Structure 1
Amino acid sequence: MKRILVPTDFSKHAEYALRVAAQIARENNAEIILLHMLELPHQGTDAMGSGSDIPEIMFFKNRAIDKLEDLMDVDFLKGISVSEIIQFEKAFEGILGVSKKNDVDFIVMGSHGASGFQEMFIGSNTEKVVRFSDVPVLVIKNETPSFSAKNLVFASDFSDEIKKPFKQLLDFARGFNANLKLVMINTPNTFKPTAVAERMMADFMAEFDYPNYSTHIYNDVNVEKGILNFANKVDADLIGMCTHGRTGFAHFFNGSISEDLVNHAIRPVITFKI
């Protein structure tokens, strides 16, 4: 992990994400790209507006530059290589475009609003970034003075399509020397006998070299509640999952992760695209 992209709108939630990105950058000797997307009032009909809009455009740009420069001078970024980008583009398209253009390894974003993950994921820019980003996305909801991924829960059905993104998760886990807790959620509609579930997980892990892991089977009424309750039970630092680009959250057990998981998760969530 050498290059971390942190989109910011200068909100407190964006600062929470930047603080976590700074911690990760220090541990991995990585650089941070600080991105502010400047969506102008007339954007959408005319990318840069008419000639009469130029003073307004320059006002917003200069104000954003001042804020970015102030942000780059904060104490928690000292000693870290930080660059800044201001992009005249809609947030979702711009974030993905900057990520690809700058060969970003990782995106860290914050959630916004009282409704937390619901506001962030359902139909918003962050939801779209999570859905379509080719690189892992870490979403931070609350202030996290000391970010840790030592106790990392990864929930999955452990099918073959998960193997490719799982390699990315292992790279992340190695960087934090994480204790990886692999969990398969058993529900009434997707019930598997313990012996069958254990064999599926053992066969899945047989292809990977990562000694510090344990496997778990957790029974609950649905997958969403199972992941949340298991994460609470083991006091997870971080919840990991995979996503499908075409539909958003990955299909666990032939069904989509519902709104309940992202609405109620209080822990950081990291996603990896299938």
Structure 2
Amino acid sequence: MKNILVPSDFSSEADNALKYACNLAEIFDTGIDLLHVHDEEIEELTSEANAAVTSRTSAVLKETDLQVLVDEFKKRNDKFKAISINTHFSTGNVTDEVVKICNATSISIIVMGTKGSDSTDSAIGSVTSEVIKEAERPVLAVPKQAGYKPIKKVVYCIDYEGYDKPTINSLASFAGHFDAEIVVVHINSEPQYFDSSRWTNFQRMVNDAYDYENMRFEFLNHEDILKGIDEYIEGKDIDLIAMLTRNYHLLDRVFPSSMTRSMVLKTKIPLLAFHE
């Protein structure tokens, strides 16, 4: 794996995402690129929600300040002292700047914090969902409530078109570092159009194409896909949810863009979104 990009406003959500990313960096033997973007529009949206943030971190950070903040983070988290954290400062739109740095540097995955299901504030989740939509790298959205723990079970929510194959390959590569089980789940909201032979062929195709022993498939009918996912994961010991998102409307019939955003805003479990 190449480096991990962590966009940060130094909120508690971003701090939690950085901890999660540092744990991944240890496992994948890589470094962190920490990006702070001064985005006046986002600051207006989050100013009330982040009233408790210190004046130092809510002010426009200079590039030299970032290293000081990284040093303070490592003092609070001694186990990450050996992790290489490169700092980047820019001004503009967060999503645009994330895309720019991904294109200019060796980034394999983006890790971002969200407030998760215990908050009605959507600004941070909205930024994360926009990055998921626009960035071509996988984005791992980490809810504030989700501390890092070894990934043992991954639920991959799919439509079963052939273009999911590269995503399964990437997910298997990621999950293999943890020897995690992958459960491939299809939520069918239109049973009248269900083709059982297609589902069977998809399972056979995946099993033939990928040498990943710890993978199984589950098919569920539910008129509301998002509620179906919620009901499926309820009470199960799931460490990561994975989805594929696309930057056009072809996906709307199965996983519309609003669905990925809803998952980002509401989930208590880290969400790994792959861009086609």
Q: TM-score range by the shorter chain?
A: 0.7 to 0.9
Gaps in structure 1 of 5+ consecutive residues: 42-57
Distance in 2 between residues matched to 1:152 and 1:252, nearest whole Å: 24
Tell me the secondary structure at the aligned position of residue 86 of structure 2.
strand
2:215 paired with 1:213: yes
Deviates more, 1:105-114 or 1:183-192: 183-192
1:93-242 equivalences in 2 (<5 Å): 93-112=96-115, 114-115=119-120, 118-121=122-125, 124-189=126-191, 192=194, 196-242=198-244
Deviates more, 1:9-18 or 1:206-215: 206-215
One-letter code aligned to 2:272: I
C-alpha deviations, 1:70-124, integer Å up to 9, x for none? 33544242111111111223211111111221110111000148236x5444xx3
Deviates more, 1:129-138 or 1:67-76: 67-76
Tell me the secondary structure at the aligned position of residue 206 of structure 1.
helix
One-letter code aligned to 1:155: C
Among the aligned pairs, what percent are the same residue? 25
Task: Sort the Cα spacing of 1:35 and 1:7 in 2 relative to 1 into closer, same or farther, 3 A.
Answer: same
Distance in 1 between residues matched to 2:233 and 2:211, nearest whole Å: 24
Tell me the secondary structure at the aligned position of residue 176 of structure 2.
helix
Given that residues 240 and 270 in structure 1 are in contact (C-alpha distance below 8 angstroms), is that contact kept between their aligned partners in structure 2?
Answer: yes
Higher helix share: 2
Q: In structure 1, what is the equivalent of residue 270 of structure 2?
A: 268
Aligned residues: 253
C-alpha deviations, 1:152-183, integer Å up to 9, x for none? 00011221111122221111111221100011
Q: In structure 2, what is the equivalent of residue 78 of structure 1?
A: 81
2:18 paired with 1:18: yes
Distance in 1 between residues matched to 2:192 and 2:73, nearest whole Å: 48
Given that residues 243 and 273 in structure 1 are in contact (C-alpha distance below 8 angstroms), is that contact kept between their aligned partners in structure 2?
Answer: yes
Distance in 2 between residues matched to 1:59 and 1:192, nearest whole Å: 53
Given that residues 151 and 180 in structure 2 are in contact (C-alpha distance below 8 angstroms), is that contact kept between their aligned partners in structure 1?
Answer: yes
Given that residues 6 and 110 in structure 2 are in contact (C-alpha distance below 8 angstroms), is that contact kept between their aligned partners in structure 1?
Answer: yes
Given that residues 186 and 192 in structure 1 are in contact (C-alpha distance below 8 angstroms), is that contact kept between their aligned partners in structure 2?
Answer: yes
Given that residues 228 and 261 in structure 1 are in contact (C-alpha distance below 8 angstroms), is that contact kept between their aligned partners in structure 2?
Answer: no
C-alpha deviations, 1:181-203, integer Å up to 9, x for none? 01111234565365653333222
One-letter code aligned to 1:93: D
Query: Aligned-pair distance for 1:261?
Result: 3.7
Distance in 2 between residues matched to 1:193 and 1:244, nearest whole Å: 23
- Max Rg structure: 1
2:106 paired with 1:88: no
Given that residues 241 and 269 in structure 2 are in contact (C-alpha distance below 8 angstroms), is that contact kept between their aligned partners in structure 1?
Answer: yes
Distance in 1 between residues matched to 2:230 and 2:237, nearest whole Å: 10
Given that residues 181 and 213 in structure 1 are in contact (C-alpha distance below 8 angstroms), is that contact kept between their aligned partners in structure 2?
Answer: yes
Task: Sort the Cα spacing of 1:263 and 1:214 in 2 relative to 1 into closer, same or farther, 3 A.
Answer: same
What is the TM-score with the length of structure 1 in the denominator?
0.81
One-letter code aligned to 1:13: E
Distance in 2 between residues matched to 1:230 and 1:257, nearest whole Å: 21
